[in-house]
Structure 1
Amino acid sequence: MSGERHGHRARRTGRQDLPAGPSRTATIQSIDRAASVLALLDQDTGSLTPALVSDRLGLNRTTAHRYLQSLQRAGFLNTAFGPGPLLDQLSALVSVRQQILTLAPAVMRQLSDGTGLTSVLSFLGRSGAVVTLVEEANQATIVLTVRVGTVLEHRAAQTRVLLAFQSDPAAVARAHERLTPTEAAVERHALVDVRRHRVAWADLDREGFVSVAVPVFATRNVQAAMALLGTTAMLRPADQSTERVHALEQAAQTLGSLVAS
């Protein structure tokens, strides 16, 4: 009876936490085992069978078949227990990102040398843009830069670009979950403006420092954000038609066009 009462409370509160104790451990073990099943797929094994899973993982065939059916229902496997649509989707995403990471350095090098500014490429992480590539101008007297791996705040230009074109509302909610209602309203308005102009300017309250970012479209979606870092003497948010901003937009378009659709 106590378990039933607990279940009713969970439904009323809408909590999604994993249960504590043995049930939580069993859930984690199930996830680990499902991952082991999927890991059996390789260049020599295009589909799975209960017999194969049972033999390689030491499971009885009934358990192996149950895992295969569950993975098929979730989209990880198809009806023949080969790679399913969810794996295809993840594979396509990884492929696009690998292409971007391979092609971007040359495009960014040309952009940095042509503008005299540091160029940055970021992907969207859980709470903001994550700096992935950085190219500094060779001939610049003053170099502004950012470390690879830095998670940028919600008011950073690259975070705004990536959130503005994010199709999953939950991603925006996660990035803004620590904001006050007033701050969240300001950001929502900023994202509308970014979608309209396809250009974002940082609002970091750092005197003398400016960054501007644009989306990198590939396979019809925004895959990354490309930005320039500079001083207020080099980049002016009030003037969005500068040659440097145009060069940034052109570089992003070039990179997107190079990625195979």
Structure 2
Amino acid sequence: MTTLAVTDRGAIQSIDRAANVLALFDQHTLSLTPVLVSERLGLNRTTAHRYLQSLQSSGFLSASFGPGPLLDQLSALVSTRQQIITLAPEVMRRLSDRTGLTAVLSFQGRSGAVVTLVEEAGEGTIVLTVRIGTVLEIKAAQSRVLLAFQSDPSVIARVHSALAPAAARMEESELARVRREHVAWADLDRMGLASVAVPVFGSSDVQAAMGLLGTTAMLSPSDKPTERLALLQEAAEALSGMVAT
């Protein structure tokens, strides 16, 4: 077995053990001790204490070995997303009915915006849609919205690392425009198709992107602000208000 393989196996084992330590929390166990971890997981106390200290320094545990700030942050994120998933369908259905276009909502994933909810247009012989779970391209409208208002610069850097330097600079300029206008348009070179997106905010940070998908005859960035764009902004603001309360 190579040194690299041994190192990888050791790293995976450490992650597994850390996950097992965190899994000890329940309604009856609100803080951990080396003795408890040792007994529950079959580790010696020195190793158990080392894992607790490492998880504490990483933010997973507090000074008293209870749930730390990182777990609180992740819990809040999951709670907010679940709230959006519960509230958004009705808002999006109304938006789709009023605009005659497909409404889409996405969350930021590791490699880009991930389509989470879709409400298709209820009328027309041809319906434009996108599959739930699709990871959108960097220049998609919803990708641009989520990156433009992203509070963690490393997320933008990671996504833009796939672009050539000149293209990355152009995209950064586009994100600056999105921050000013709170509106993003796709630039995907799909003839006849257009999409626009706006942010959905929580108590402070951007939580999701809501967009409309249609033809260039119905949506176009070259047009003056349209009723459809106004309805999209109204819907996103309404959802933001529900989430923030």
TM-score (norm 2): 0.95
Q: Give the letter aligned to residue 213 of structure 1.
A: A
Q: Are 2:162 and 1:174 equivalent residues in the alignment?
A: no
- How far apart, CA to CA, are the structure 2 residues paired with 1:183 and 1:63? 48
- How far apart, CA to CA, are the structure 1 residues paired with 2:193 and 2:108? 22
Cα deviation for residue 240 of structure 1 reads 4.4
* Unaligned residue ranges in structure 2 (runs of 5+): none
- 8 Å contact kept, 1:117–1:140: no
Task: Identify which of 21, 27, 41 aligns with 1:37.
Answer: 21
Query: How many aligned residue pairs are there?
Result: 243
**Identity between Structure 1 and Structure 2 (%):** 69
Q: Which residue does the alignment assign to 1:194?
A: 178
- How far apart, CA to CA, are the structure 2 residues paired with 1:246 and 1:143? 22
Q: Which residue does the alignment assign to 1:217?
A: 201
- 8 Å contact kept, 1:76–1:84: yes
Q: Are 2:214 and 1:230 equivalent residues in the alignment?
A: yes
Q: Which residue does the alignment assign to 1:184?
A: 168
- How far apart, CA to CA, are the structure 1 residues paired with 2:135 and 2:87? 22
Cα deviation for residue 48 of structure 1 reads 1.0
Alignment RMSD: 1.3
TM-score (norm 1): 0.89
Q: Which residue does the alignment assign to 2:43?
A: 59
Cα deviation for residue 161 of structure 1 reads 0.6
- How far apart, CA to CA, are the structure 2 residues paired with 1:178 and 1:68? 37
- 8 Å contact kept, 1:111–1:119: yes
- How far apart, CA to CA, are the structure 2 residues paired with 1:179 and 1:260? 35
Cα deviation for residue 196 of structure 1 reads 0.7
- How far apart, CA to CA, are the structure 2 residues paired with 1:56 and 1:178? 44
* Unaligned residue ranges in structure 1 (runs of 5+): 1-18
Task: Identify which of 123, 134, 146 aligns with 2:107.
Answer: 123
Cα deviation for residue 20 of structure 1 reads 1.3
Structure 1, 109-118 or 180-189: larger mean CA deviation: 180-189
- How far apart, CA to CA, are the structure 2 residues paired with 1:58 and 1:185? 52
- How far apart, CA to CA, are the structure 2 residues paired with 1:69 and 1:128? 33
- How far apart, CA to CA, are the structure 1 residues paired with 2:196 and 2:17? 45
Q: Are 2:201 and 1:242 equivalent residues in the alignment?
A: no
- How far apart, CA to CA, are the structure 1 residues paired with 2:73 and 2:162? 30
Cα deviation for residue 67 of structure 1 reads 1.2
Larger radius of gyration, structure 1 or 2? Answer: 1
Q: Are 2:242 and 1:258 equivalent residues in the alignment?
A: yes
- Poorly superposed stretches of 4+, deviation over 3 Å: none
